[in-house]
């Protein structure tokens, strides 16, 4: 296969360089954030003098400030704040009315319009009373701040997720004739040819046209054994190429690529509404109708009671201002945005927010084994020297000297073990491959070979006692001058954080099971090592579904964690489906949550994050609705004349409720960081 010449940065004629990451939607959202922040600061600056010179505020605080033209100054400043700062809400009000779907913007629009109209009528002596321009101004400023915080948090969630997808290959070696050029993956199109060198990640979904290599596709097969790829074999993006080079024809690109699918998941997570959020939306809608009805009813009732038009109008405006459902409107979106950002930073991509919030209900967790509880790659499990001139370290060092020339997963496992033990790795000369059976060469003046059991059988050499090991192990033999010097056993290693994750899940009352296609002997060994509540071995994909169904029939709320096509049916059946690793299209599309890494501790993080998020949502809903239960009757004047909630105090309470909800949502960051540690 020709290596070609790499020419970085060459553009691929005729291909689009855009992936959708920085499209119009992104620019529009960023522009809206900037616009809201600008409106907030300008309105805040103008609000300060409005508040200071307001007679109602002066009376409430206890000072006196007056000058000729004070009312005119208040009118001009308040008008600018109303028309400029309040414009986004007036537009939203008009849009909701036009669509026939009154909601939060309708109530905000009515409240600030009535407040402005009433105050202006007072200033121009059309009605008697005191203007409350300052309440209008502070109301608009607080709402601008709340919306900016919400939009900023959502933007932060997008950036956090985009940082994760950057960990995937960004470039590929693309053929242009017989030449190679480094090309952005998102600029490739179906039919393009790319070269994947030994040890590199495969950048695209495609078909091998030339070459031979073993590829780690554990996220597809669910098993740790590398898959041999030859011409005609399918490969998936994110898989790790082994010892050979592969020439691949691109099958999927653009919107079908893994990168763009992850970005799509970001948008889905932000746009999707969980049951809790839909509940909040319904509550806000009903509160809008209740507030509008209560406001107009208050106005009519007080007129019928013989009160002045000014008093009745003031009560109506107070109800409108006080009961504005802004706190309820931001109660859930702020928590959603923050939890999405924090989850992304911890490797959780959320496709189904309801499932994420329902993580608190999980009572049984079923793990796939390979690539989930185990590494999905070979590690040295046993070493046995058989000649007196070798100890275990010497045997491993000699084997690593030969295997460092190979990219095969078994070879990499031996070299990694030697490096982790800080062993010297001698130089090798006369290196040669024994086709399909091993490698040989000269190490420290001696002929050393690392071979498979098949080679020993071919040479009629007896396999040493104890070399058989467990069914989970792969054994290679080290020969010195054609004499067996010892053997090295390798197996799929249990992940370092698996035991602790299982222990903490069990501490939370969650039963932990494992379902694997491996044999019973392997399954039992892993289950006993990790202290699982049970395991299911030698299961086929449809049997994993039955395992989940049986647990559900026993009243368990089941989460299934897997990484491949063989896990997809069970992921769909589970109450919460979790796909781990870069995964396959089928697993990702079936799962509710995708973990960008394959660490069991991420599953624990999912449970903890789900609980903390739901708890914060409930707190915000309780405050936002509970506040209105008390505030609306007081604003309407049910305790008059013993107590009358002034428009000023009503605006303060409304603003305070929004601030409390926003601050409480921000505290979720601290709570989730504590969960991380």
pLDDT of residue 220: 40
Class of the CATH domain delimited by 375-493: alpha beta
Pick from 18-22, 394-398, 432-436 the range whose average pLDDT is largest.
394-398
- For residues 591 and 362, give the distance between their C-alpha atoms in angstroms, rounded to a whole number: 15
Q: Which residue has the higher pLDDT, 342 or 634?
A: 634
- Residues forming CATH 3.40.1110.10 domain(s) in the chain: 375-493
- Return the residue matching tokens 């897997």: 562
Cα of 534 vs its chain's centroid, Å: 30
SS3 content of the chain, % helix, strand, coil (to 5): 55, 20, 30
| pLDDT value at residue 677 | 53
Task: Strand 511-515: give its sheet, edge to edge.
Answer: 348-350, 593-595, 576-580, 558-562, 364-368, 511-515, 534-536
Pull the structure tokens for residue 329. Answer: 């409107």
Q: Residue 583: which region, alpha, beta or left (left: phi > 0; alpha: psi -120 to 50)?
A: left
Identify the bridge partners of residue 350 per DSSP, sorted by sequence position: 593
Asked if residue 516 has a cis previous peptide bond (ω within 30° of 0), the answer is no
Give the 3-state secondary structure of residue 52: helix
Euclidean distance between CA atoms 23 and 264, whole angstroms? 13
Residue 98 has phi, psi (to 5 degrees) of -60, -40
DSSP 555-572: T--EEEEE-SGGGHHHHH
- Residue written as tokens 């501490």? 507
Task: Report whether 206 contacts 251 (CB < 8 A).
Answer: yes
Spatial separation of the C-alpha atoms in residues 604 and 503, rounded to whole Å: 10
d(CA 430, CA 303): 105
State how beta strands 213-216 and 227-229 pair. Answer: antiparallel
Quickly state the pLDDT bin for 186 (edges 50, 70, 90): confident
Of 347, 337, 361, 362, nearest to 668 by C-alpha is 337
The whole-number average pLDDT for the span 253-265 is 55
Three-state DSSP state, 147:
helix
Question: For residue 107, is pLDDT > 80?
Answer: no
Q: How far is CA 99 from CA 92, 96, 128, in A?
A: 11, 5, 37
**CATH 2.70.150.10 segments of the chain:** 171-263
Residue 420 has pLDDT above 70, yes or no: yes
Q: Which residue has the higher pLDDT, 628 or 475?
A: 475
272 pLDDT band, cuts 50/70/90, is low
Strands across the sheet with 428-434, in order? 374-385, 483-494, 473-480, 446-451, 438-443, 428-434
pLDDT tens figures, 574-624: 888 888 764 444 445 667 787 776 678 888 888 888 888 888 888 888 887
Q: Which residues pair with 241 in a beta bridge?
A: 215
pLDDT tens-digit profile of 132-149?
Answer: 788 788 878 877 876 776
Pick the catalytic residue: 368, 518, 563, 592? 368
492 is catalytic: no
In 524-641, DSSP assigns E strands to 534-536, 558-562, 576-580, 593-595
**pLDDT, position 651:** 64
What DSSP letter does each residue of 236-265 carry, written as one string?
-TTPEE-SS-EEEEE---GGGSHHHHHHHH
Taking domain 171-263, whether its CATH number is 1.10.10.10 is answered by: no
Q: Give 83 or 404, the one with higher predicted confidence.
A: 83
In which residue are the tokens 């004629």 written? 13
* CA neighbours closer than 13 Å in the CB half-sphere of residue 646: 13
**CATH level 2 (architecture), domain 342-374+495-610:** 3-Layer(aba) Sandwich (3.40)
Residue with tokens 């709320």: 557
- For 2-11, write each residue's pLDDT tens digit: 333 232 233 3
Q: How many CB atoms lie within 10 A of CB 615?
A: 15
- The alpha helices in 272-408, defined as continuous H runs, are 275-304, 309-322, 326-345, 353-357, 392-403
pTM listed for this prediction: 0.57
pLDDT recorded at residue 533: 94
């Amino acid at each position: 296969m020709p290596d070609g010449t790499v020419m970085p940065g060459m553009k691929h004629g005729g291909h689009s360089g855009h992936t959708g990451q920085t499209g119009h939607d992104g620019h529009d959202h960023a522009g809206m954030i900037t616009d809201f922040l600008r409106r907030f600061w300008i309105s805040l600056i103008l609000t300060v003098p409005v508040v200071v010179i307001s007679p109602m505020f002066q009376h409430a605080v206890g000072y006196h400030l007056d000058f000729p033209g004070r009312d005119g100054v208040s009118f001009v400043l308040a008008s600018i704040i109303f028309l400029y700062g309040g414009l986004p809400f007036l537009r939203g009000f008009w849009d909701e009315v036009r669509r026939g779907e009154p909601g939060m913007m309708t109530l905000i629009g009515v409240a600030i319009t009535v407040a402005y109209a009433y105050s202006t009528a007072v200033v121009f002596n059309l009605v008697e009373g005191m203007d409350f321009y300052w309440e209008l101004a502070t109301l608009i400023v607080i709402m601008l701040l709340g919306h900016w915080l919400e939009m900023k948090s959502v933007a932060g969630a997008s950036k956090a997720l985009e940082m994760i997808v950057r960990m995937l290959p960004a470039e590929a070696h693309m053929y242009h004739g017989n030449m190679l050029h480094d090309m952005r993956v998102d600029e490739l199109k179906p039919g393009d040819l790319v070269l994947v060198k030994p040890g590199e990640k495969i950048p695209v979904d495609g078909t091998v046209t030339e070459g031979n290599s073993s590829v780690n596709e554990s996220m597809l097969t669910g098993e740790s054994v590398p898959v041999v790829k030859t011409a005609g074999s399918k490969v998936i993006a994110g898989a790790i190429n082994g010892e050979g080079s592969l020439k691949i024809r691109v099958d999927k690109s653009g919107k079908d690529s893994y990168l763009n699918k992850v970005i799509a998941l970001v948008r889905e997570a932000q746009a999707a509404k969980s049951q809790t959020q839909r509940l909040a939306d319904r509550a806000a809608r009903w509160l809008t109708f209740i507030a509008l009805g209560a406001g107009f009813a208050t106005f009519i009732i007080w007129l019928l009671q013989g009160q002045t038009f000014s008093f009745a109008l003031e009560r109506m405006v107070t109800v409108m201002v006080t009961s504005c459902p802004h706190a309820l409107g931001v109660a859930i979106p702020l928590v959603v945005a923050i939890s999405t950002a924090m989850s992304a930073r911890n490797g959780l991509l959320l496709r189904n927010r309801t499932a994420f919030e329902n993580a608190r209900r999980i009572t049984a967790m079923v793990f796939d084994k390979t690539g989930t509880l185990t590494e999905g790659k070979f590690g040295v499990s046993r070493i046995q020297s058989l000649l007196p001139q070798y100890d275990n370290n010497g045997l491993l060092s000699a084997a690593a000297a030969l295997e460092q020339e190979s990219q095969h997963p078994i070879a990499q496992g031996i070299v990694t073990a030697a490096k982790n033990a800080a062993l010297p790795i001698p130089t090798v000369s006369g290196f040669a491959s024994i086709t399909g059976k091993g490698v040989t060469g000269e190490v420290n003046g001696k002929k050393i070979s690392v071979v498979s059991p098949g080679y020993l059988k071919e040479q009629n050499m007896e396999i040493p006692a104890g070399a058989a090991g467990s069914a989970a192990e792969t054994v290679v033999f080290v020969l010195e001058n054609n004499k067996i010097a010892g053997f090295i056993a390798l197996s799929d290693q249990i992940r370092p954080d698996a035991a602790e994750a299982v222990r903490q899940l069990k501490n939370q009352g969650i039963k932990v099971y494992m379902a694997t296609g491996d044999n019973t002997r392997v399954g039992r060994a892993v289950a006993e090592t990790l202290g699982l509540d049970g395991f299911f071995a030698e299961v086929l994909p449809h049997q994993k579904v039955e395992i989940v169904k049986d647990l559900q029939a026993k009243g368990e709320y089941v989460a299934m964690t897997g990484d491949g096509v063989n896990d997809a049916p069970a992921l769909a059946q589970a109450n919460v489906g979790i796909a781990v690793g870069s995964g396959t299209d089928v697993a990702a599309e079936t799962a509710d949550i995708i973990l960008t890494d394959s660490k069991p501790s991420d599953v624990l993080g999912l449970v903890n994050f789900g609980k903390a998020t739901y708890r914060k949502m409930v707190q915000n809903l309780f405050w936002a609705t509970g506040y209105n239960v008390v505030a609306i009757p007081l604003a309407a004047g049910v305790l008059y004349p013993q107590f009358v909630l002034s428009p000023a105090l009503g605006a303060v309470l409304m603003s305070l409720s929004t601030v409390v909800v926003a601050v409480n949502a921000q505290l979720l960051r601290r709570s989730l960081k504590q969960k991380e540690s």
